[in-house]
Amino acid sequence: MREAVRIIEMGPRDGLQNEKTPVSVADRIAFIEALIGAGLNAVEVGSFVSPKAIPQMVGSAEVLRGVSHHTDCDLPVLVPNEKGYEASQAAGAKLIAVFAAASESFSRANINCSIAESIDRFKPILARARADGVRVRGYVSTVLGCPYEGEIRPQAVVDIARVLWDLGCYEISLGDTIGVGTPAKARQLLRAVSSEVPMPKLAMHFHDTYGQALANLYAGMEEGCRVIDSAAGGLGGCPYAPGATGNVATEDVVYMLEGMGISTGVDMTKLLAAINVVSGLIGRPPVSRVATALNAKARAGK
């Protein structure tokens, strides 16, 4: 259990795109700089999507250019279609992400197409990325439950993950988009998917709606998964899943891992400072237990 764990920071993209209050390009750049300064070396910086669909991600090209001097960090951007791919390349993206759902209903609600149609959309992206030497990460959403269909069969997730893997994604992130999973189900899912995609190439992307994310991550780690997606401050949610909260908070993950003797390289003081700044920008305090406790401790010490 003590092998290195890789943390992928989702806050500036998956987190902020679901916040009601938009954050400016300059402030998003400063947030990413602060996260990198805290020791995080993989930060998802933006999304090349329609500004009408997700206005919070307007200016992602400028954000990427603003942080691209960090050549020792992974700086992925989300790309939904070929137009988005072309825009990402104009901005200098070296690492992109594509996404599909394990639920037909969620796919139609989220991106207005079937699962099969979504795969057809990103096939040419993966082909172009391969030719251009661009790395591609794959996301599968609703892996442990769907707001429309309820429980999702593990085989449905296996099938999508295998397609992404076969098309050339170097890593597949499994997303419990609405945060309904429990440890036994997370363990079962990882066992099933790792029969088709090697465990070292899988990542856990668990939301914390029902307070199960850390327990699910621990169960996944017991199965051998060593990559965790998280969002500083527990930012985010899902517009198509009422009540869904953000990703598991990075500070909660760091606290757990460090307490287990697993070094993360993350400076908690600097991470908390970054979280408090962005929380002020969006007008609400961080939702995580660790940020709440540390902020209360700091106030008491004044």
Q: What is the pLDDT of residues 204-228, one digit of tens each?
A: 999 999 999 999 999 999 999 999 9
Q: How far apart are CA 77 and CA 272, in angstroms?
A: 24
Question: Model confidence at 302, in pLDDT bands (50, 70, 90)?
Answer: low
Residue 261 confidence (pLDDT): 95
225 is catalytic: no
SS3 (DSSP) at 3: coil
Token pair of 104, please?
């037909």
Task: Report the 10 Å Cβ neighbour count for 82.
Answer: 13
Residue 239 has pLDDT above 70, yes or no: no
Q: Rg of the chain over CA atoms, in angstroms? A: 18
Nearest one of 254, 101, 104 to 174, comparing CA atoms? 101
Global pTM? Answer: 0.95
List, for residues 124-168, the tens digit of each pLDDT value: 999 999 999 999 999 999 999 998 888 999 999 999 999 999 999
Share the mean pLDDT of the chain: 94
Question: Model confidence at 102, in pLDDT bands (50, 70, 90)?
Answer: confident
Task: Report the 10 Å Cβ neighbour count for 200.
Answer: 12
SS3 (DSSP) at 25: helix
- Residue carrying the six token digits 């429309």: 148
Please give the average per-residue pLDDT across 168-175, as a whole number: 98
Is residue 92 within 8 A of residue 61, CB to CB? The reply is no
φ, ψ for residue 298 (rounded to 5)?
Answer: -65, -40
* Structural domains of the chain ordered from first start: 6-300 (3.20.20.70)
